[in-house]
Amino acid sequence: MSRYLVACDAGGTMTDVIVVDEQGRSVIGKAPTTPEDESVGYIESLEEALRYMGLDMEADGHAFCGSVETAIYTGTSMLNALLNLSGLRTGLIVTRGFEDIIVQGRGSQSFIDYQWSEITHMQYRKHRRPLVPRELTRGVTERVDLFGAPVIPLYEQEAEAAVRELLEAGIESLAILFLNSFTNPSHEREAESIARRVMSEMDREVPLVISSEVAPTLREVSRANATVIQAYASAPAREQLLGVEKRLTEIGYRHSLKTVLCYGGVTNIRYPRLFETVMSGPVGGIMGAHYLCDVIGEDNIVCSDVGGTSFDAGAITAGVLPINREPPFQQMYVNVPMLDIRSIGAGTGTYIRLEPQTRRIKLGPDSAGGTPGPVFQEAGNETATINDANLLLGILNEDYYLGGRVSVNKEKSYQVFKKEIADPLGLDVYVAAEQCVDLVNVLMREHLVRSLMVGHDLRDYVLLGYGGGGPLHLLGYAGDYPWKAVCTVPHAGAFSAWGGACMDYAHRRHKSVSAMLPPAADDAAKAMVTRVLSSTWRQLEEELLEELLSEGFEREKISLRQIAYIRYYGQLEDVEVESPVPSLDSTEDLDALLARHQELYTKMFTLVARPSQPTYHFTEVSVIAQVDTVKPRLARKELEGKRPRKQASKGKRRVFQKGRWQEAAIFEMGELRPGNAITGLAVIEAPNTTLFMPADWGLRIDEHEIYWLERRKKR
């Protein structure tokens, strides 16, 4: 039997399993997610995948699982614990005077993900429900200053009393956070030691987390959130993961289960900082795109994912994954390095309404999503959505929606659209529908171009579209911007799950530092900076190597990358700069690092933004340790002719475009082959997605089954 990789992505509703063999062939199985015991959903979706492979779980499951080289699982248990407040009863010990740190957060947390009109509307302000209630927080007198000097020693008796009180209050886990502990963790360690002694005395052991081990970086609110998430949700999540692993082992799997890190990469489910897996849902798509970089020979890719409710995007630049070190997450800022994926509320289920006072078209930001879905699904929604417009325009096939599994009432969409949108605007229904689709495409395009691509030249980037609605809107939001190329993949709806199978084994550590380099610094000053950076890199490298070696990896398989975060003194934002050399051994090495910073900074913020006499401030460093793993191979296939096979053609359908009805060629995606070429106006249908090609676009399918979309030259 062949060797396999099995990647499983448990979403809020459905669990997807993708099985990939050594040739890169894949099948996908789906089953409802089972939050109480996630192993059930995993096994059921695996069963379906095996059925597509012609295997029976009962008869062949053990042999199959025995040949699985890597099993990856992206669960929802940690996310669900935060959403449902079902994590451990957690106590928090903080620097005295900061007992409200979690309930109070910071103002900007109360409007994360709001639109501007909602930000100005003060009645909408809302902090999230805290993971640790105020009643389970205790303050302890201590202070460390920004240089790491312990100005006020830890008041041990207060620490001991705090631990006792919290244990008596029935906490199930304990988090400790002191200010500036990332510069000097001694007070946190002292408090940890006291807590362990008290637990022992009281015979009550609970998981204990200190912030300087979890996320030793600046900004106490975000560090507190990260630390609390680890204390609150990691133990139950790990239990679920171990349960899944146990079940897989029972049916023949012979290795440890892996899970997905927020910053892209897989790790063993016994990984200590499990909170770094808290948001792995959108990771798959970016990592799939990252993997495609090598396949298609491009290292700048803009990844765009259109779902039912949101449009998610991230940019890979020079092969480097986009990282946000303090991302917003669940109405909190967290010191967790996460893939920088920016989202807006625009998708195929986005509601279309008219603003009552000025009759302006308003899209979302809320949506009907998959449930209750567009009006035509007749599942209770009476408000028009983008997909109602797509149906009215003839782009979606009323007889083949989700492969024909869902019945469609097009007349209902028409009536709702006419009454609620077209008539009040004084427009023909189809004209109004086209304008709404154009508008959502503009919102998506603007999100990419303005929000994501500040300081980057689109001509250097390939735009990749995926997600169930990706191919439907891709060319709309690609627009006439000068992308280097535009592409999508077949089965775009399952691309994120596929991407989950494409990750390397990776660990990442960050640490705040503070080193300054004044204008015209001499060699001695430069040497001091290089010492700070190099010694911190060495420290992080040692920590990472220890983790990976203990997991059984050989040293020579582990590669290390060093990163510095640099700003001009006084700024609050820095620029991520990968060191051109692994170790700064000379002032020339430091100059090379600064030259790289200047190059990036000028590109991002214009030349005028650069100070004439810069003082550099080095604020943070990080190291990425990576081990290459077996990944699905995108098999190179024989190219067939440009003309698709006969069975690929599904005839013609009228599509409303540019204000008139036009004949579009219809194709079945599953019947298209590498080498085929199609010109617009065309619709290419698959059960889980639809690729729409306007008249001025052409399609070419390459040997890896990447769909390249090119604007046709005007005659």
CA–CA gap between residue 386 and residue 363 (Å, rounded) = 9
> Which residue from 47, 38, 60 is spatially nearest to 257, judged by alpha carbons?
38
Interactions with other proteins, residue window 607-626 (CB under 8 A): 608-612, 615
DSSP per-residue codes, 532-592? HHHHHHHHHHHHHHHHHHHTT--GGGEEEEEEEEEEETT-S--EEEE-SSSS--SHHHHHH
Query: Helix, strand or coil for residue 286?
Result: helix
Could you identify the residue written with the tokens 């627009």? Answer: 479
Cβ atoms < 10 Å from Cβ of 260: 26
Using the rule CB under 8 A, is 475 a contact of other proteins?
Answer: no
Contact 109/331 with Cβ under 8 angstroms? yes
Output 432 or 682, the one with its CB closest to other proteins. 432
Cβ atoms < 10 Å from Cβ of 506: 22
Q: Which residue in 128, 143, 189, 711 binds other proteins (CB under 8 A)?
A: 143
Using the rule CB under 8 A, is 98 a contact of other proteins?
Answer: yes
Q: Which two tokens stand for residue 687?
A: 């059960």
The number of angstroms, rounded, from the C-alpha of 661 to the middle of its chain's C-alpha atoms is 39
Site string for other proteins, 145-164 (x = CB under 8 A): xxx---xxx-x-x-------
CB of 695 to other proteins, least distance (A): 19
Contact region with other proteins (CB under 8 A), list: 137-145, 204-212, 369-377, 639-647: 137-145
Q: Any idea what the Cα angle at residue 537 is, between residues 534 and 538, rounded to 5°?
A: 85
Contact region with other proteins (CB under 8 A), list: 35-43, 234-242, 365-373, 436-444: 436-444
Query: Helix, strand or coil for residue 388?
Result: helix
> Which residue from 46, 52, 131, 57 is spatially nearest to 88, judged by alpha carbons?
131
CA–CA gap between residue 21 and residue 652 (Å, rounded) = 37
Output 50 or 171, the one with its CB closest to other proteins. 171
Q: Which residue in 30, 219, 511, 526 binds other proteins (CB under 8 A)?
A: 219
Interactions with other proteins, residue window 359-398 (CB under 8 A): 359-361
Contact region with other proteins (CB under 8 A), list: 60-68, 130-138, 256-264, 578-586: 130-138
Query: Helix, strand or coil for residue 143?
Result: strand
Interactions with other proteins, residue window 560-579 (CB under 8 A): 568-573
CB of 110 to other proteins, least distance (A): 4
CB of 192 to other proteins, least distance (A): 19
> Which residue from 196, 177, 198, 199 is spatially nearest to 188, judged by alpha carbons?
177
CB of 105 to other proteins, least distance (A): 8
Output 96 or 270, the one with its CB closest to other proteins. 96
Please tell me the count of residues contacting other proteins according to CB under 8 A: 92
Output 218 or 262, the one with its CB closest to other proteins. 218
CB of 441 to other proteins, least distance (A): 9
CB of 9 to other proteins, least distance (A): 31
Interactions with other proteins, residue window 445-474 (CB under 8 A): 446-447, 449-451, 454-455
CB of 437 to other proteins, least distance (A): 9
Interactions with other proteins, residue window 624-683 (CB under 8 A): none
Output 2 or 120, the one with its CB closest to other proteins. 120
Site string for other proteins, 250-289 (x = CB under 8 A): ----------------------------------------
Q: Which two tokens stand for residue 130?
A: 């805290």
Interactions with other proteins, residue window 58-97 (CB under 8 A): 96-97
Cβ atoms < 10 Å from Cβ of 197: 12
Q: Which residue in 378, 428, 438, 460 binds other proteins (CB under 8 A)?
A: 438
CB of 574 to other proteins, least distance (A): 9
Q: Which residue in 2, 86, 117, 200 binds other proteins (CB under 8 A)?
A: 117
Interactions with other proteins, residue window 406-425 (CB under 8 A): 425
Output 507 or 526, the one with its CB closest to other proteins. 526
Q: Any idea what the Cα angle at residue 26 is, between residues 12 and 676, rounded to 5°?
A: 115
Contact 314/42 with Cβ under 8 angstroms? no
Contact 64/55 with Cβ under 8 angstroms? yes
Contact region with other proteins (CB under 8 A), list: 35-43, 579-587, 603-611, 689-697: 603-611
Interactions with other proteins, residue window 310-369 (CB under 8 A): 355-361
Cis peptide before 681 (omega within 30 of 0): yes
In DSSP terms, 655 is beta-bridged to 662
Interactions with other proteins, residue window 501-560 (CB under 8 A): 514, 516
Output 581 or 604, the one with its CB closest to other proteins. 604
CB of 701 to other proteins, least distance (A): 30
Contact 701/675 with Cβ under 8 angstroms? yes
CB of 151 to other proteins, least distance (A): 6
Q: Which residue in 47, 53, 69, 141 binds other proteins (CB under 8 A)?
A: 141
Q: Which residue in 36, 54, 84, 123 binds other proteins (CB under 8 A)?
A: 123
CA–CA gap between residue 544 and residue 626 (Å, rounded) = 10
In DSSP terms, 150 is beta-bridged to 144
Q: Which two tokens stand for residue 382?
A: 């009476």
CA–CA gap between residue 85 and residue 232 (Å, rounded) = 9
| 566: Cβ contacts below 8 Å, ≥ 6 apart | 574, 575, 577, 593, 594, 597, 616, 617, 618, 619
Q: Which residue in 37, 118, 366, 585 binds other proteins (CB under 8 A)?
A: 118
CB of 78 to other proteins, least distance (A): 25
Name the H helices within 120-219: 156-168, 186-202, 211-214
Q: What is the largest CA-CA distance in the chain?
A: 85
CB of 414 to other proteins, least distance (A): 18
Q: Which residue in 3, 126, 254, 660 binds other proteins (CB under 8 A)?
A: 126
Q: In terms of residues, how long is the chain?
A: 715
Q: Which residue in 14, 53, 103, 592 binds other proteins (CB under 8 A)?
A: 103
Interactions with other proteins, residue window 171-210 (CB under 8 A): 179-180
**Burial (0-12, 13-18, 19+ Cβ within 10 Å), 426:** exposed
Q: Which residue in 3, 51, 129, 134 binds other proteins (CB under 8 A)?
A: 134
